[in-house]
Amino acid sequence: MIVNNPGVLALIQDAGRLGQHRIGLTVGGPMDPFAFRWANRLCGNDDNASVIEVSIGGFVAEFTQQAHIAITGAEVDVKLNGQAVEQWQTLSVSEGDVLKLGFAHAGCRIYIAVQGGVQVPSQFGSCSTVVREKIGGVDGGSLVKGQVLSISPFEQRSKFIMPIENRPAYLSNGQPAAKSMSPLRVVQGYQSDSFSRADKALFFSGEYTVSERMDRMGYRLTGHECRSTITNMLSEGICHGAIQLPPDGQPIVLLNDRQTIGGYPKIGSVMARDTARLAQMTQGNTVFFESVTIEEAHAINLLAEYKESQIALVDLD
Amino acid sequence: MRVEVAGENALILYFSDEVSEASSAYIYAMTQALEALIGKGVIDLVPSYASLLIIFDHNVYDYYSLKQYISKAKAVIDQTRIASGNSTDSIEAPTITLPVYYGTEAGPDLEELARNAQLTTEEVIAIHQAGLYQVYAIGFAPGFAFLGQVDERIAAPRKSTPRKAVPKGAVAIADRQTAVYPSVSPGGWNLIGLCPVPMFDAEKTPSMPLATGNKVKFEAISKAEFIAMGGEL
């Protein structure tokens, strides 16, 4: 396929680069793993196959061969040769077909999977692009106009659709900005004892707004200022979802492309299934935090994974 | 050693409140011990100055089982230490020697650093070479290793205006830390020389000559040796 327009930001991502923090490499990978996984499943791919993650939208590509594709994630107008087509289902494309995405009206990250996965070489066990590290994808960079991406030979297979009740609901990008009705669940830890009880009470009861500083490294939120009593600390390993509170007291939720070590106090970490929701939000959306124990988080994850395992795609043929 | 929760699938072990060679050696031993004991269910281990972050697969371990393995790993290390004379010196860490072409051509900040330290450039080079450094942490960029402690006489604060492009292989000092830049990147450290050995090569296995907990020595080489070893000016 040929990239006619990468749009705002288009990156090749597989499930992520794991186990490489010791040499300073971050994870990368899809900001919304659920949408990523099901884009691949709709194409009959492995869960780790490489897809294109488009932030906001504007992506246009032309296919140079027959293929099955699927588009999941943020709600966006998708056109194939000018005709509107559906998300969350397998689509057939032929040589010369032009796929065009508009701009997301709800959510922020769109996933385009192609049958067999986008073919790029693996580096350190993953094809995920981390632009800051110049690793993964095509020469470590985001997709650019005119780039040719190779895809697997076409194989005929059944087409599927994701039942509507199993699709995530994303927050609308319209005005006024939407509020999240479910919390970002936080496992408290790291330096959580260094925050006053009053600060913590306000942190877990107040609303925070997604600021303009939101990218694949992290989402900076604005709201009640929450400051640690620690002013100087040694850099330490940062896990996914860690909520860093620099001296200005405004939280930064660290995401897929975060640096692997850092020296700001942290109150705990947002559960990955909730950072997936956060990563679908745009500037102006509001969120709130809820504290859960590590045991509750474990139970929430096991139950959610069980429920996801019960999702049955509907055969369209 | 203190065990704290870090996230839904992460625990962090704190070994001390400050940087020390003893705790760094202990972190190195702990990283090795945990890898041997629970390697498969561990997604990543991130050793740093005084801590070790353990990221685990929640389908393999829960909080309690992991805590038990951490106690086991600690017991193994402590027993080894007692058996060999109750010292962290007994924790063996490899020493890697890195060649450096020191001088004003390769290190544009060497003269200023020497002047501020009231030393000659030769003295700065001699003091930098005399140190046996510990790899305290790897991060900031792929392959960037933070080494310490630099002798106080040649410790120098970061430059007030960082350079837009520090060359690959630059040997640098910031406060009491030293490092070799793995690739061209912006940076505010004081540059005193160049090392021809790549710190990070994505095409090679292993991609880095150093690991957290290793010890590092620097050895002066001539310009001709630097070029012969593949160095570029």
Contact between chains at A190 and B6 (C-beta distance less than 8 A): yes
- Is pLDDT at A225 greater than 70 in this prediction? yes
Q: Which residues of A touch B10 (CB under 8 A)?
A: 189, 239-240, 269
Q: What is the mean pLDDT of residues A274-284?
A: 97
* pLDDT confidence of residue B93: 79
Q: Which pLDDT value is given to residue B120? A: 97
Per-residue pLDDT reduced to its tens digit, B143-178: 999 999 999 999 999 998 889 999 999 999 999 999
Three-class secondary structure of residue B146 per DSSP:
strand
Read off the pLDDT of each residue in A27-48 and give the average, rounded to a whole number: 98
Q: What is the pLDDT of residues B166-220, one digit of tens each?
A: 999 999 999 999 999 999 988 999 999 999 999 999 888 889 999 998 999 999 9
**DSSP structure string for chain A:** -EEEE--SEEEEE-S---S-GGGT------SSHHHHHHHHHHTT--TT--EEEEESB--EEE-SS-EEEEEEEEE--EEETTEEE-SSBEEEE-TT-EEEE-B-SEEEEEEEEETT-EE---BTTB---BGGGTBSTBTTB---TT-B-EEPPP-----EE--GGGSPPPPB-SSSPPB-SS-EEEEE-TTGGGB-HHHHHHHTTS-EEEEEEESSSEEEEESS---BS------EE--TTEEE--TT---EEE-TT--SEE-S-EEEEE-HHHHHHHTT--TT-EE-EEEE-HHHHHHHHHHHHHHHHT--PEE--
Nearest by CB to A24, from B4, B55, B141: name it. B141
**Residue keyed to tokens 């230490």:** B81
Contact with chain A for residue B63, Cβ under 8 A: yes
User: In whole angstroms, what separates CA B228 from the centre of its chain?
Assistant: 26
**CATH topology (fold) of B2-90:** Gyrase A; domain 2 (3.30.1360)
Q: What is the pLDDT of residues A103-131, one digit of tens each?
A: 999 999 999 999 999 999 999 999 999 99
pLDDT at A174: 85
Mean pLDDT of B210-233: 95
Comparing CB atoms, the residue among A124, A133, A237 nearest residue B46 is A237
- pLDDT of the residue at B19: 87
CB pairs under 8 A between A and B: 131
B27–chain A nearest CA distance, Å: 12
Kindly determine whether residue B44 and residue A297, on different chains, have CB atoms separated by under 8 Å.
no
**How many Å lie between the alpha carbon of B44 and the closest alpha carbon of chain A?**
4
Q: What's the pTM?
A: 0.93
The closest of B37, B46, B44 to B66, measured between CA atoms, is B37
Lookup result for tokens 């540059």 = B191
* B48·A236 Cβ contact <8 A: yes
Look at A261 and B63 and tell me if their CB atoms are within 8 Å: no
Q: How far is A230 from chain B (nearest CA, A)?
A: 12
Interface residue B177 vs chain A (CB under 8 A): no
pLDDT at residue B86, rounded to an integer: 59
Two structure tokens written together for A53: 């993650």
Kindly state the average pLDDT of the residues A288-301.
Answer: 98
Taking the CA atoms of A117, A123, A128 and A134 in sequence, report the sign of the dihedral they define: negative
**Rounded mean pLDDT of A3-31?**
97
| Residue A99 predicted with pLDDT over 80 | yes
B44-60 tens-digit pLDDT: 999 999 999 999 999 99
Domain positions in chain B:
2-90, 95-228
**CB A258: neighbour CB atoms within 10 A?**
22
Q: Is B14 helix (H, G, I), strand (E, B) or coil?
A: strand
Q: What CATH number was assigned to the domain covering residues B95-228?
A: 2.40.100.10
pLDDT value at position B80?
83
Distance CA B39, CA B51 (A): 18
Residues of B in contact with A294 (CB under 8 A): 5, 8, 63
Among chain B residues, the shortest Cα distance to A241 is held by B7
The minimal CB distance from B12 to the residues A124, A237, A294 is found for A237
| pLDDT at B39 (0 to 100) | 84
> Which ipTM score applies to this complex?
0.95
Chain B closest-CA separation from residue A123 CA (Å): 7
How sure is the predictor about B82, in pLDDT bands with cuts at 50, 70 and 90? confident
Question: Structural domains in chain A?
Answer: 2-165 (no CATH), 184-309 (2.40.100.10)
A→B interface, C-beta within 8 Å: 18-25, 123-124, 133, 135, 187-190, 234-242, 259-262, 266, 268-269, 271-272, 294-295, 297-298, 301-302
pLDDT score for A102: 98
Query: Per-residue pLDDT averaged across A259-283, rounded?
Result: 96
Residues in CB range of B23: below 8 A, 6 or more apart? B15, B16, B50
Query: Which B residues, 75 through 134, put their C-beta within 8 Å of a C-beta on chain A?
Result: none
The pLDDT of residue B88 is 55
Mean pLDDT for A79-96 is 98
Helices B63-83 and A294-309: crossing angle in degrees, nearest 10, is 120
Shortest distance, CA A289 to any CA of chain B (angstroms) = 14
Q: Is the pLDDT at B139 greater than 80, yes or no?
A: yes
Interchain pair A24, B143: CB under 8 A = yes
Q: Round the average pLDDT of chain A to a whole number and report it.
A: 96
- Per-residue model confidence (pLDDT) at position A114: 98
How distant, in Å, are the alpha carbons of A59, A80, A161, B169 from that of A69? 15, 11, 12, 44
Q: What is the mean pLDDT of residues B69-80?
A: 92
Shortest Cα distance from A59 to chain B (angstroms)?
A: 30
Average pLDDT over residues B107-112: 97
Cβ–Cβ contact B49 with A under 8 A: yes
Nearest CB neighbour to B48, from listed A135, A237, A271: A237
Written in H, E and C, the secondary structure of B56-78 is: ECCCCCCHHHHHHHHHHHHHHHH
Residues of B in contact with A25 (CB under 8 A): 142
The proportion of chain B whose per-residue pLDDT surpasses 70, expressed as a percent, equals 97
pLDDT, mean over chain B: 93
* B87 pLDDT higher than 70: no
